[in-house]
Amino acid sequence: MENVFCSSHPLVRHKLTKLRDIATEPKRFRELIREIAMLLAYEATADLALDRTEVQTPLGRAAGALLREKIGLVPILRAGLGMVDGIWEMMPGAEVWHIGLYRDEHTLRPVQYYNKLPVDPTVQVCLILDPMLATGGSAIAAADILKRWGAQRIKFVGIIAAPEGLRAMRSVHPDVPIHIAAIDSHLSENGFIVPGLGDAGDRQFGTG
Ligand code: PRP
C-alpha cells in the first residue's frame, strides 16, 4: 500500500512478538512500547531535512549536518503516551503536543477531549504517535486537527494496524506516511485488531 511502511527489522519483530504476548506484564509492556517506538521513529525520520555545517573537533574542522526542521511529537491520549519518552530522548529539541481522543464504544467514532495546540503552528514536522490504528478514526481525526493547525508535514507512527484502518487513513490523508510494525488480519465486531495485542492503553496503565 502506497505510503505505508511496515518495518521488517528483526529487533522490531522480536519485540512486537513479546508485546503481543498475553503473559507480558504492564512494566515490560511499557518498555517494549517505548523500544519499538524508538526503532520505528528512527525509520520514520530517515528523510528529515538537514543543514550543512562545520564543527571544530580537538584535531581540526569536520563537516557536519544539523536537523533543519522543528519536530513535534503528538501522542494521542492515552495509549500514545508510552511512545513519547524514548523518541524524545533521540530528539530532545522536539516539542510535545498532546491530543486527547477516545473511541465511543458504541459508534467507534473518536471523541476529542483535549487539545491545547497554540493558535499558530510551532513545528514543521509532526509525528502522530498511537500504537493502534484500528478503524483509523482516531488517526484521521488527529491528522485533521494538525492540518487545520497548519502543520506542513505529518507522519503517523503506530505499532499495529488493521487493513480497514489503513485503507481509511489512506483515502482521507494519502499525504500522511504511516510507519508501523505490523499489519494484522482484521477488526473484530467490537473494533479490536485481531490478533493484535488487546487494549494498548489498558495494558500500559494496568487498567484492563
Ligand atoms: C485506542 C487506540 C487508538 C484508538 C484506535 O484508544 O489507542 O487511539 O483506540 O482506534 P481507531 O483507529 O478505531 O480510532 P482508546 O479509545 O481505547 O483510548 P485510550 O488510548 O485512552 O485507552
126: Cβ contacts below 8 Å, ≥ 6 apart: 71, 72, 73, 74, 97, 146, 151, 153, 154, 155
Which segments of the chain does DSSP mark as H helices, in order? Answer: 10-20, 26-44, 84-90, 137-149, 163-172, 200-205
Provide the sign of the torsion angle of the four alpha carbons 33, 34, 35, 38, taken in this order.
positive
- Extract long-range pairs of 17-25: CB within 8 Å, 24+ residues apart: 19/159, 19/197, 20/195, 20/196, 20/197, 22/198, 24/203
Largest CA distance in the chain: 65
Domain span at 151 = 4-205
User: Which atom from ligand 1 is nearest to the alpha carbon of 79?
Assistant: 20
State which amino acid sits at residue 61: R
Give distance in angstroms: CA of 60 to centre of ligand 1: 52
Give the chain's residues under pLDDT 50. none
82 Cβ below 6 A of ligand 1 = no
Best mutation site among 138, 164, 204 for ligand 1, i.e. most ligand atoms within 8 A of its Cβ? 138
Q: Decide if 104 is catalytic.
A: no
List, for residues 29-78, the tens digit of each pLDDT value.
999 999 999 999 999 999 999 999 999 999 999 999 999 999 999 999 99
pLDDT score of 208: 80
Rounded to an integer, what distance in angstroms lies between the CA atom of residue 102 and that of residue 205? 15
Give distance in angstroms: CA of 53 to centre of ligand 1: 42
The three-class DSSP label of residue 30 is helix
Q: Decide if 175 is catalytic.
A: no
Rounded to an integer, what distance in angstroms lies between the CA atom of residue 101 and that of residue 118? 18
Exposed e or buried b for every residue in 108-126, given b needs 16+ CB within 10 A?
eebeeeeeebeeebebbbb
Q: What are phi and psi of 201, to 5 degrees?
A: -70, -50
Give distance in angstroms: CA of 76 to centre of ligand 1: 8
Name the helix (H) or strand (E) containing 191. none
**What total of structural domains would you count in the chain?**
1
Give distance in angstroms: CA of 74 to centre of ligand 1: 14
Best mutation site among 83, 107, 132, 184 for ligand 1, i.e. most ligand atoms within 8 A of its Cβ? 132
What is the CATH classification number for the domain harbouring 105?
A: 3.40.50.2020
Q: Which residues pair with 178 in a beta bridge?
A: 4, 156
204 Cβ below 6 A of ligand 1 = no
pLDDT score of 1: 85
Write down the residue that cell numbers 529539541 correspond to.
93
- For the question of whether the overall pTM of this predicted structure is more than 0.75, the answer is yes
Best mutation site among 83, 101, 103, 167 for ligand 1, i.e. most ligand atoms within 8 A of its Cβ? 103
* Catalytic residue (choose from 24, 85, 122, 199): 199
Task: Kindly report the protein residue whose alpha carbon is nearest to atom 10 of ligand 1.
Answer: 134
Name the helix (H) or strand (E) containing 62. strand 60-67
Rounded to an integer, what distance in angstroms lies between the CA atom of residue 151 and that of residue 169? 17
